[in-house]
Structure 1
Amino acid sequence: MLTILDKYILKRYLITFLGMLLLFVPIGIMANLAEKIGKIIDNEAPLSEVIMFYGNFTLVIGNLLLPIFLFLSIIFFTSKLASNTEIVAILSSGVSYWRFLRPYMIGASLVAILIFFMGMFIVPNASIGYNEFEYKYFKKGRQVQQTTNIFNQLNDQDLIYVSSFDPDRQIGYNFTYEHFDENEVLDYKISAANIRWVEKDSLYRLTNYRKRKVRDGKELIETKRRLDTIFSFQIDDLTPVSYVADTKNLFELNDFIEEQRKKGASNINSYVLVKYKRWALPVAAFVLTIIAVAVSSVKRRGGMGVNLAFGIGVAFIYIFFDKVFGTLAEQSGFSPLLAVVLPNLIFGIVGLYLLQKAKR
């Protein structure tokens, strides 16, 4: 049951958090619009699509920054409580520091639930429109895709490989296609110097084509300088766009990762990282709440400005750690799970230390 103290702090908690969102989200939209307005005009983007884009922009970017907004809002209103000596009065009345912390954790739980449902089910849908608009009008259709050593298992019998892939020209180099029979014995193998998608003819063009198969113990080899043909796969099956995982909800993402793992996708870590980050964001709400309370509940010389400056510094360091470990997971063999756990673990330990110090 919530007491008067719980309701008082929780009310200030949520009102300040909402005010922070209403303040910074429009600023973020205006800053992005000021940067991109030239491209929007040059590419003649329809007004309806622009409005829809910034609606999706609010959901996608806002969800990522919710823990940071929460962190700054707690520092803001808790510093105000401390400067008015309200915290001293609360603790002097016999309320323990851990009891004083309870409404903050209740508030963090509510925000964490919001982050969870947005990240798992709402933001993925918004991410589709957000990314499509980005690549259509801002990046001239140049979608980010993996470009080297691409291996893909299309099904139980067919595998494809290219040593490098140019998404702009839709051409893959050192192409190999292997087909196995029901006994998992290689039936035939096709290789080519490159494979190009010819959109106007809806076919693939292979250069320096070579097909090798074995029939009745004899090796049969077919070669052509150029061959136009049709395959059952799409050119994008060579490698999906990098943001594909961002567009899938919780259940779709799990299925997609399992499908990519069966295909032997070499960039599987980037998809797994997206999954773990969605689970890590709600945890970050609790970690940053603890740090914010520990920092701002003590009255300091310099007041709220010092606490806000410290809070902004911590927020930037947290984002820095998150980006560094995320990059390690995407571009090396570093574990995606550790990449999302370590920032929260490190800052969680720092938060508990600061909390003990503030309690004394």
Structure 2
Amino acid sequence: MFKKLDTYILKKFAGTFFLMIFLFILIAVVFDISEKIDDFDQFTIEEIIFDYYFSFIPWLYNLLTPILAFLTVVYFTSRMASRTEIIPILASGISFKRFLRPYFLGGIVLFIISLIMSHLLIPITNKKRIAIEAKIYSHARRIDNSKLHREVAKDTYIFVNNYNIKSDNAYKFRLEKIVNGELLYRFTASNLKWHHQTKKWSARTWTERIINGDREILTQGAHKDTSFCFDNTEFHRSPFEVETMDLFDIYDFIEKEKMRGSRYLGKYEQELVKRTSNPFSIIILVLIAACISSRKVKGGVGMHIAKGLLIALSFVFFLRIAEILSEKSTIPAKLAFWVPNILFAVVAIYIYRTSPK
């Protein structure tokens, strides 16, 4: 049954959280504008406000929610403890478990909001944000298209030493069709160029081999216009592309990229796992914050905030370690990004059991 205690704590939770998130986002936007002020010259005011910042703010909100929810609970709960509000509540017969219920409900609500945003809303808004950032950071976000090896269709593989995105030129290109370990077809070219008007490739210094059992047909030439089972978009894929895909698209995309042997597969899998693991961390962090802040201690609010910052930084540190291990394929992304949640869930249980009841 929803009681005055729940309403009281949830009001404090919501009010403090949204004030804190507003202030942090405001500060972040001001710093972002000051950093990009020169780069924004190439865009109109409408593009900056409606395309970029209307997309940037939801993304930033979702990014900050776990840590700010944690700090929010630490702040208002420690203030309640310093004002001796919690002791009378527990002395009235309300158990500590019952006292934590509104915190848990608040964490659940933020978790659901963040989960929906991560999987459905933010991928849509990210399209405009990433498109603008791609122009601003065109040098920093250069796609690495050297020494490519991909499966572009069933049993069909391409090998490219280097691909120039600006000119749509592939250098030292090779296409092979291999069935059951047997080479049936090979096409090589010193240079392969994509033509946007004809939607075809032109090959220079090319060689074609068709193998049929003991027979082999060899054809060579200096120039040839031809078509393959792929176009130039095969080489324009970016690791940031996956951030614009919703829950339904990202699964299919990752399966296709597994077949293609994409070098960005680890990043794609990270993105999928983070969309669930990060929102779930809100519940764990909120409960930890409530447990550590509910006791009145010397130093008051400042001491609780110091402890809270230490725990928050530890959580961010573990997330970064998980990301590095996942990128290097040391640990699968599905496991790596849940390890911090598992560790801090254990911490939450320990703190709860040792908290004054």
On whether the aligned pair clears a TM of 0.5, the verdict is yes
Shift of 1:30: 0.9
Which residue, out of 287, 309, 312, partners 2:309? 312
The question of whether the paired residues in 1 share the 8 Å contact of 2:165 and 2:235 is answered with no
Question: Corresponding residue for 1:17?
Answer: 17
Q: Name the SS for the 1:348 alignment partner.
A: helix
Alpha carbons of 1:162 and 1:328: their partners in 2 closer, same or farther (altered >3 Å)?
Answer: farther
Instruction: Note the aligned Cα RMSD (angstroms).
Output: 2.6
Query: How far does the alpha carbon of each residue in 1:292-347 deviate from its partner, in whole angstroms, 9 at most, with x for none?
Result: 11221122222212222332332232222212211221233421012111111122
Q: Name the SS for the 1:79 alignment partner.
A: helix
Alpha carbons of 1:205 and 1:320: their partners in 2 closer, same or farther (altered >3 Å)?
Answer: farther
Moved more, 163-172 or 71-80: 163-172
Q: Name the SS for the 2:37 alignment partner.
A: helix
Q: Name the SS for the 1:154 alignment partner.
A: strand
Question: Corresponding residue for 1:249?
Answer: 246
Question: Corresponding residue for 1:177?
Answer: 175
Shift of 1:173: 4.3
- Alpha-carbon separation, structure 1, partners of 2:31 and 2:105: 33
Shift of 1:104: 0.3
Q: Name the SS for the 2:34 alignment partner.
A: helix
Alpha carbons of 1:221 and 1:287: their partners in 2 closer, same or farther (altered >3 Å)?
Answer: same
- Alpha-carbon separation, structure 1, partners of 2:220 and 2:210: 12
- Alpha-carbon separation, structure 1, partners of 2:223 and 2:285: 60
Query: How far does the alpha carbon of each residue in 1:44-83 deviate from its partner, in whole angstroms, 9 at most, with x for none?
Result: x111110020110001121111111111111111011011
Question: Corresponding residue for 1:71?
Answer: 70
The question of whether the paired residues in 1 share the 8 Å contact of 2:205 and 2:222 is answered with yes
Shift of 1:32: 0.6
Question: Corresponding residue for 2:118?
Answer: 119
The question of whether the paired residues in 1 share the 8 Å contact of 2:174 and 2:186 is answered with yes
Question: Corresponding residue for 2:131?
Answer: 132
Moved more, 77-86 or 147-156: 147-156
Query: How far does the alpha carbon of each residue in 1:147-185 deviate from its partner, in whole angstroms, 9 at most, with x for none?
Result: 35433222225322224545456444442212468x996
Unaligned runs of 5+ in 1: none
Q: Name the SS for the 2:331 alignment partner.
A: coil
Moved more, 100-109 or 151-160: 151-160
Q: Name the SS for the 1:140 alignment partner.
A: coil
Shift of 1:275: 0.9
Shift of 1:7: 1.3
Q: Does residue 1:154 correspond to 2:155, yes or no? A: no
Q: Does residue 1:271 correspond to 2:268, yes or no? A: yes
Shift of 1:111: 0.5
Question: Corresponding residue for 2:289?
Answer: 292
Question: Corresponding residue for 2:257?
Answer: 260
- Alpha-carbon separation, structure 1, partners of 2:56 and 2:242: 17
Percent of paired sites with the same residue? 29
Alpha carbons of 1:38 and 1:92: their partners in 2 closer, same or farther (altered >3 Å)?
Answer: same
Q: Name the SS for the 1:325 alignment partner.
A: helix
Question: Corresponding residue for 1:46?
Answer: 44
Return the TM-score normalized by structure 1.
0.89
Query: How far does the alpha carbon of each residue in 1:209-258 deviate from its partner, in whole angstroms, 9 at most, with x for none?
Result: 32222257432333345655443422231361111111111111111112
Return the TM-score normalized by structure 2.
0.90
Q: Does residue 1:92 correspond to 2:91, yes or no? A: yes
Question: Corresponding residue for 2:55?
Answer: 56
Moved more, 225-234 or 82-91: 225-234
Unaligned runs of 5+ in 2: none
- Alpha-carbon separation, structure 1, partners of 2:170 and 2:348: 50
Shift of 1:124: 0.4
